[in-house]
A and B are shown apart, each in its own frame.
Chain A
Amino acid sequence: MSASETLVVETAARVLADLADPQTIVQRRDDAWKVPLWSSLQEIGLDLAWASETAGGAGASLADGFGIIREAGRAALAAPLAETLLAAWLLDRAGLTAPGGPMTVAPVRPKDHLTLDKAGRVNGRARMVPFAGDVEHLVVLATGDDGPSVALVRTADCKLKPGKSLAGDARDTVEFVSVLPVHRARLQESGTREKDVLLLMGAAVRAQQIAGALDRILELSVLYSQQRVAFEKPISKFQAIQHSLARLGGEVAAAASAAASAADTVANTGFDGDAALLEIAAAKIRCSEAAELGAGIAHQVHGAIGFTDEHILHRFTLRLLSWRDEFGDETFWSLKLGEEITARGPQGLWPLLASR
């Protein structure tokens, strides 16, 4: 994606600005905004951007889908738009059709594994499933005798234990006890990483959301520093503040680069090969690091007002921090990447980096 963002992404940005404005959401303190937003997203087909047209989706490019997700990040969206795109994408990988309406995916933690028994029923437990309680359908990746399959499951058929993310968004524990899926099919991904596709794609998605939200907190922080007067001048005139915001700018740039590079890799070369792991792991790790530093600086610049519940800053910073934990955190991906790098040996590192 470049400065010439496509029409689809521009549309997503406009819809989100109109119907999911953080200021309005913070003031109203209820979920009423979600209904008109979702019907608008659905009407335009943004929710199923990644489902192919034959499966009732919009058949948008992977790049456009990542663009929509970045906009969702820029809005600190607390609704399962990224998850629905991801779910539709996963269904598509198995040739299945999306049922319509918001969806989510499972598992999102590397240590959670779901299985498919001989009768085709899903078993296992997945924790921290985003928005599970808010959606009618879950799309799960479950392993059976013939390898990984994709299954569309009704949420009502599972046992849910509600939980919350750092930002207060639903992150539920979902128990699958011999759940019969609505549909299921063998994952059509080939290659050595097929069992990890959801983790890899999810990490690329979360990296985009983090990059988007960081972008907004830079804007908010710059604007605030120019408006807030202390010691008889706007605080933006103090070198200490300028340098803090310059560092925030650096983190925004690093996150944007890493996320864009990973998205570009997924869109153009898929998941196979060492390059995909490098790109996606690096994006998730570096975006998560930027989230910590960036959120810290944004709060420091905003001072006490940014710590209040009526200010919108926390909608961004808490989501930034919570997204770090999903689809593999920094430690998980550092280990994965480190294993690959040490296995290649010292002379194998540079050729890998230079190939990107």
Chain B
Amino acid sequence: MAVAHTGVQAGDAGKRPAPPEARRHGPWLGIYTALVMIYLFTPVAVIILFGFNDPVGRFNFVFNRFTLDNYTTLFENQELTTSLQNSLTVAALSTIVAVTFGTLIALALTRFRFRGRSSLNLFLFVPMATPEIVLGVSLLSLFVTLGFGRGLVTIILAHIMFSISYVVVTVKARTSGLDTNLEDAAQDLGATPLTSFWTITFPLIFPGIMAAGLLVFVLSLDDYVVTVFNAGGTGMFPLWIYGASRIGVPPEVNIMGTLIFAIGVVYAIVVLLRDRGLLGDLKKFAGRRM
């Protein structure tokens, strides 16, 4: 792969005249990329830095003095811990349901031919092409029309709704590349359709299911727009941040940002290590075949 795009190879040079412009490249694109990366990380640096600030007044805008106090008193904030617990509960429950529904649809779309497949694709696309605020207020209008009180249940229903399509798209990317012959082979050797699914198909698509679950879990945890219309008075994590920012920006907001970012970093490292491990295995496998 890496060799394929380094331009004209030395061995080719003798056979024909050198092309008019060999593909050499300057450092400018690399420098540009580094600058954009700095831009992207600037808010993260500010989030981390101001978590260690002892702010003057209610707004944490000017760096006054380094302190660790904000960290030690973090979980004494009752509203913060409650809203965090609520958000984690909602994210877990809505992820489980959305991943189940979405995976079943993804399997149907890639493994079966049935009438209405393309309409189903379109049907799943529309929620993703609808602005979040419209999803939020239309659900609100449903719950108000039905006289259904808003709370944890309505938030979970709302989050399942906007997650399903994302699960389908993510899992479909995995199932559509699958070799159906594997399952046929298993069934030729006497396995029931259910056995061949659990022993062959499911392990193969499991990484896709995990990726989808992670994606919608994060989407749920981070969602403000749909949540705010359907929460009633329930304290949810993004709503707490927003509320806190109305009265001032307390350092707790920065600390929560820092901690969640740290989880992201750990996740990224795990992914990179796993990719490297997988790559190594693949190379070993390829080596044995040759």
Q: Do A and B come from one complex?
A: no
Where the two chains meet, the residues of A that have a C-beta atom closer than 8 Å to any C-beta of B are none
Where the two chains meet, the residues of B that have a C-beta atom closer than 8 Å to any C-beta of A are none
